[in-house]
Chains A and B, each alone.
Chain A
Amino acid sequence: MFEIQPLQLIQCLIACLSGGVGTYLMMPHRRQFAKPGLVFAIGLGLILFAAGQLMMLGGSPTPIVSKVFFNIFAIASVVASALMITARDPVHSALWFAVVVLSTSGLFLLAGAGFLAAGTVIVYAGAIIVTFLFVIMLAQSEGKAVYDRLARQPAQATVTGFILIWCLLIVILSNPGNTYFQSGSNSSASLAPRLIPAKDLVNYKRLTATNPTYMVMGKTLTPEITLPDTIQATLPAGIPQPHVAGLGAAMYTTHLISSELVGAILFVALAGAVVIATPRVGGESS
């Protein structure tokens, strides 16, 4: 299970420790005073150091242009995420969140996942964070609230967060089937097969019972994806399946149940919002 090299283990440890200490130093003070700039700078430096360690763990893409952009996006996303949780002004927090989302979609783009990148920007940066900004601005027009200016239990929160990061790193590095993080290949040709194997939340071995419903479900979970001939015919020979078509096919064959579940949950949330927002008959609001 844990086929991890000792050097990588040590690097993980250093990265997590320095990142954790850095984040703690950057957190707002308990007693609402601003921290001195030096402490903040040391914290930022430690986080940058941690980001550098993490980047040494995985390779970066090969062409020099991709490498430059990969480094820019990777550092930007790590630093912006640290600034996002430590900013004292919630509007600044929301803006750093936007920077995190944008640089993450830059990384998606470098990995050949253009659809995912555009979708992330549209949904998160374009809609969700704007709604956050909206709410923050409407909620507090004057001054910052106390709960924004001080961090409650910064030490415990930091430790918990970085234990989670540590676990994720160990799992990613020790998973032998995962080639992306270790080799750093970025061509879209190698990406296509990676999209397809289903580690679905539904364990479909359990579904292959004699029940006809389960048999239908089992068929929808078959991990073979073929594009319809109408689309396949338009592709030049030798070019891998286009990302969008591959993603769509994966979503509606391999991951059908997950997508349907997500759709149902969102629909329930929508219905709930309408019920809550609708004024009651005979109530005080008209």
Chain B
Amino acid sequence: MLLEILGLLIKISLVVGITQGAVAYLILVERKIAAFAQDRVGPNRVGPLGLLQPIVDGVKMFLKEDVTPNYVNKPIFILAPFLTIVTAMIGFAVVPFGPVGPNGPVLMDGPIQFQIAPGIDIGILYIFAVGSLAVYGIILAGYASNNKYSFLGGIRSSAQLISYEIPMGMSILGMVLLVGSLDLNSIIEWQSKHVWGILVQPLGFFIFLICAFAETNRLPFDLPESEQELVGGFHTEYSSMKFGMFFLGEYLHVITVSYLVVILFFGGWDIPFVTDSAQTGWIFAMIKVAAMLGKVLLMIVFVMWIRWTLPRFRYDRLMELAWKRMIPLAIANMVVTATVLQLVRG
């Protein structure tokens, strides 16, 4: 019992530490890709190739003056960035970072599970539940700032987030129907046994990807920020580490969403013809973890690449896309999948 709790705490601190560190370096990657897209050099002064830049950025965030304007609603103003970061972090509790099950590499008295909370049979619903709370950070930041630009940004953003949650939730139903489970590990295992999700659910993948961009507030859906019209949107009044928390939350969402895309549609840890869920031992476990990490990194680079490819949507077009295109398509995808499954299974 005590050992179990200790192992759990170690896992949690590992995941928290690694994801926070990864976020720092993702910002560097983002800036490098931005520089590449604009034919610049990018940050290259701090350390070799600018590799120490994230540390300097972090120190800068902490050392800046933390301004809290007089006219804000103080408790909510302070609560909002914390909510953002907490809702972005706790989603990782059910994300499998590698193989999970009885065949994991043995350490001390049992197989290692590459997941903080293994054996939750509603994993994907949990991620959606936590993700649906992320909107609170933004809407409260906009409200508490007591500033019309922040307020408009917050309102816009919450409308966008709750609109895109619907097609996002529906787009995964096809995969859930195929696998017959809401457990992320079962979904990976099914893909390992059969084919990757993108081959059987191409439309679901397409809808999920678009909604994922909208849910993470990334371009071309970064309406909540839109520097030109709203100064900075919901975080106009925030400075120092409070602003840093919103930033951190955004990149954590990018990581979560990339993991979800890989788990749902790119087979998770699966490499076709190489791995299957019956393999044991350290070597295969490490191969699987590395495969998953590699796919996630590719996905993140793709997200950052899109940022410099597509311009921002107009607001009414954005809402139209969600309600008039994505939702009917997602419903059609679900109905067709259910019908075909019923016919095939008999």
Contacts and interface: CB of A to CB of B under 8 A. Distances in A.
Interface in B91-132: 120-122, 125-126, 128-130, 132
Interface of A is mostly: helix
Nearest to B121: A242
Contact of A137 (B122, B130, B155, B162): B155
Contacts of B259: none
Interface in B142-189: 143, 151, 154-155, 158-159, 162, 165, 169, 180-182
Contact of B133 (A114, A121, A230): A121
A248 to B, nearest CB: 11
B39 to A, nearest CB: 42
Contacts of A98: 136
B121 A114 contact: yes
Contacts of A130: 135-136, 139, 158, 162
Contact of B151 (A118, A127, A131, A137): A137
A122 B122 contact: no
> How many B residues are at the interface, by size bracket?
20 to 34
A126 B129 contact: yes
A115 interface: yes
A214 interface: no
Contacts of A242: 121, 181
A217 interface: no
B162 A127 contact: yes
A114 B120 contact: yes
Nearest to B135: A130
A261 interface: no
A125 interface: yes
Interface residues of A, number: 27
A117 B135 CA distance: 19
Instruction: Identify the interface centre among B128, B129, B169: most chain A CB within 10 Å of its CB.
Output: B129
Nearest to A105: B129
Nearest to B75: A92
A249 interface: no
Contacts of A131: 162
A234 interface: yes
Nearest to B161: A130
A98 B128 CA distance: 16
Contact of A127 (B132, B181, B182): B132
A144 to B, nearest CB: 12
A138 B143 CA distance: 10
A137 B148 CA distance: 12
Given A91-B143, A114-B120, A243-B121, A134 B133 contact: no
Contact of A121 (B120, B132, B182): B132
B64 interface: no
A271 B135 CA distance: 27
B275 to A, nearest CB: 20
Contact of A230 (B126, B159, B169, B180): B180
Contacts of A134: 139, 155, 158-159
B345 interface: yes
Given A125-B133, A126-B135, 8 more contacts: A117-B129, A122-B128, A134-B155, A137-B139, A137-B154, A137-B155, A243-B122, A244-B122
Interface of A: 91, 95, 98, 105, 114-115, 117-119, 121-122, 125-127, 130-131, 133-134, 137-138, 141, 230-231, 234, 242-244
Interface of B: 76, 120-122, 125-126, 128-130, 132-133, 135-136, 139-140, 143, 151, 154-155, 158-159, 162, 165, 169, 180-182, 345
7 contacts: A91-B76, A114-B120, A114-B125, A118-B125, A118-B128, A134-B139, A137-B139
The 7 closest A-B pairs by CB, nearest first: A126-B132, A121-B129, A118-B125, A118-B129, A114-B122, A122-B129, A122-B132
